[in-house]
Chains A and B, each alone.
Chain A
Amino acid sequence: MTGMLNRVDLPLLKVQNLSKFYGGTIGCHDINFEVAEGEVVGIVGESGSGKSTLLKCIAGTETPTNGAVYFNSLFGFIDLCQADEILLRKINRTQTGFVTQNPMDGLRMNISAGGNIGERLMANGMRNYGQIRDIAREWLDKVEIDLSRIDDLPTTFSGGMQQRLQIAANLVTDPKIILMDEPTSGLDVSVQARLIDVLRKLVSRLKLSMILVTHDLAVARLLSHRLYVMKKGKIVESGLSDQILDDPREPYTQLLVSSILKP
């Protein structure tokens, strides 16, 4: 750990020479990129390209074989891969968020919507019921869930609402960065559109930083400023989202764009 606290001249997140091997199989290999504050970075590729593995290494749920993930946390510019578990868990419940593909993995399904949003607040020491409820209502409003649903269980919510609830439960402590693993897959198109709309509003209003992993280039274009294209565990192309999607250089990206984006 370098002792400097929250240096403004450093990127928010810096992935350096990151590799993950499973035995002889490559999960991802020699990944390098940075995320600036307020920036949304999309990672796209087909399934099996290593993008989810990369995200898990950044989130700390997988241990990379080599490399580092530096995070400009409130405790300093630290390598998350070397941080001890107590620090990592502290960072994960305050300064980072992780939105899973399946909301059931990220929510407590037997706890009310309000309780799900309130958990991170209570984990960080908030001990006033009324205040927790006020904040929970505020966030339900931000993710466009009817306030009357505050005491309902997530099991009674639609898939899209569950996903918006998961986003609220992650954002309630103002994390510095939020990691999203295919947040829209499993939702049908109109529900997707609503989720993306909510996310766009949050990104512009809160100046959110985000790493978004998706196989859906349309989603990537709508949300991210910059894109990285992954193939067989490596980054093959990167640049501004519009530039890559309108004028892909690599044959793989061209194939990806032509196969998914419908005119």
Chain B
Amino acid sequence: MYVAVKGGETAVKNSRKLVAKTRRGPASIPEITTEQIEHQMGLAVDRVMAEGALYDRNAAAAAIKQAQGDMVEAIFLVRAFRTTLKRFGNTKPVKTDQMRVLRRISGVFKDIPGGQILGPTYDYTHRLIDFEGEGNGDGDTSFADTGIDDSDALAERFRTLPWVVDILKKQGLMDDDGETVGDGEAEDLTRRPLKIPANRDIRLQNLARGDEGFLLASAYSIQRGFGLDRHPFLGELRVGHVDVMYVPPELGFEIKIGEIKLTECFMLNRFDGSREKPPGLENGYGLVFGQSERKAMSMALLDRSLKTCEQGGEVRYPAQDQEFILSHSDNVESSGFVQHLKLPHYVDFQSELVFLRNLKNGTKAKRKKKVESPV
């Protein structure tokens, strides 16, 4: 007799073994090391750290390996690991204006103090698959003698570059963001549930952890007129390292506990003025772990459009709607819930079947009743 529910335990065990085997692939091919992933798939590591909300290159690389390169799965692994970590305290806010810049560009001025620094980017490469690369990469040392500065040395030279927006602020074209919160006053999205409407600190945290694809598509919709009536400008995009400073209670003064790589983006929008506010430029802000320019720019566009309701504007499109964007941006949540449909729903479905069969039989009865009743 067939009874579907038996044997679950063994099946689950075997499924786990199978996925481990599939992950490893044929034994004749050497196993990939987490070290290799950490250093040769750095952008994947960056994304997993950003959306996993944990700056730990080693954990991210291990997660990517364990997940066979499935990024959302790897992000999920990092998030679950993050839950178990102890909190020592809060660091000081990082000083991105003192970033050791690897790359820094502006789309609004040809020449900016400190200059445009292209740094490492795919932007100017031709997207031709280098089939040779997979075998020859190790032997190719041509980049070693191109005369290009080692990027870290370059970063030292341009140690601190002024923000482009500071220049605009000095010229009176931009306000300080009124909504910035003080040192240690920011709410923590990972400790308190999201509440709508959300303040800007929470919105930015949510976006910084949000799914890159969701942010990208939402930002794209803004550019196509679903939430913006004019062209935004890239004020500045910078990628580089910042120091992480912490004040241990037992010391009472600031010490450097490490450094992290960040991508920061300022997006500018023209504002024609209102009764309360003079005309000028408005800022959309993005900040993401690692090098993730696509994500930082999307975040900056969304930061601006999610201010709509605060500024008394009419919320007409999804990208302006805080509840729509913030409640659906997290891929650990969305991936889990969409895929939970794979779980058994025998009981609910049985209830639906019972109802449907009753309804089918009952339709005639209801019609009969209708004729009888003196309406």
Could you list which residues of chain A lie within 8 angstroms of chain B, going by C-beta atoms?
22-25, 147-148
Which of A23, A147, A148 has a CB less than 8 Å from the CB of B274? A23
B275 in contact with A24 (CB, 8 Å):
yes
Interface positions, chain B 323-375, Cβ under 8 Å from A, are 375
Q: Which residues of B contact A23 (CB under 8 A)?
A: 274-276
Q: Which residues of B contact A22 (CB under 8 A)?
A: 275
B276 in contact with A147 (CB, 8 Å):
no
Distance between Cα atoms of A25 and B274 in the complex (Å): 12
Q: Which residues of A contact B274 (CB under 8 A)?
A: 23
Could you list which residues of chain B lie within 8 angstroms of chain A, going by C-beta atoms?
274-276, 375
8 contacts between A and B (CB under 8 A): A22-B275, A23-B274, A23-B275, A23-B276, A24-B275, A25-B275, A147-B375, A148-B375
Candidate in A23, A25, A147 with the most chain B CB atoms within 10 angstroms: A23
Q: Which 6 A-B pairs have the closest CB atoms?
A: A23-B275, A24-B275, A23-B276, A147-B375, A23-B274, A25-B275
Chain A minimum-CB-distance residue to B276 = A23
Distance between Cα atoms of A22 and B276 in the complex (Å): 10
Q: Which residues of B contact A148 (CB under 8 A)?
A: 375
Given contacts A23-B276, A148-B375, 6 further A-B contacts (CB under 8 A): A22-B275, A23-B274, A23-B275, A24-B275, A25-B275, A147-B375
Chain A minimum-CB-distance residue to B274 = A23
Chain B minimum-CB-distance residue to A23 = B275
Measured CB to CB, the closest approach of chain A to B374, in angstroms, equals: 12
Q: Which residues of A contact B375 (CB under 8 A)?
A: 147-148
Measured CB to CB, the closest approach of chain A to B30, in angstroms, equals: 60
Distance between Cα atoms of A22 and B274 in the complex (Å): 11
Q: Which residues of B contact A24 (CB under 8 A)?
A: 275
Distance between Cα atoms of A119 and B275 in the complex (Å): 41
Measured CB to CB, the closest approach of chain B to A117, in angstroms, equals: 16
Q: Which residues of A contact B275 (CB under 8 A)?
A: 22-25
Chain B minimum-CB-distance residue to A147 = B375
Chain B minimum-CB-distance residue to A25 = B275
Chain A minimum-CB-distance residue to B275 = A23
Distance between Cα atoms of A147 and B375 in the complex (Å): 8
Distance between Cα atoms of A25 and B275 in the complex (Å): 9
Distance between Cα atoms of A148 and B375 in the complex (Å): 8
Chain B minimum-CB-distance residue to A24 = B275
Distance between Cα atoms of A148 and B370 in the complex (Å): 12
Q: Which residues of B contact A25 (CB under 8 A)?
A: 275
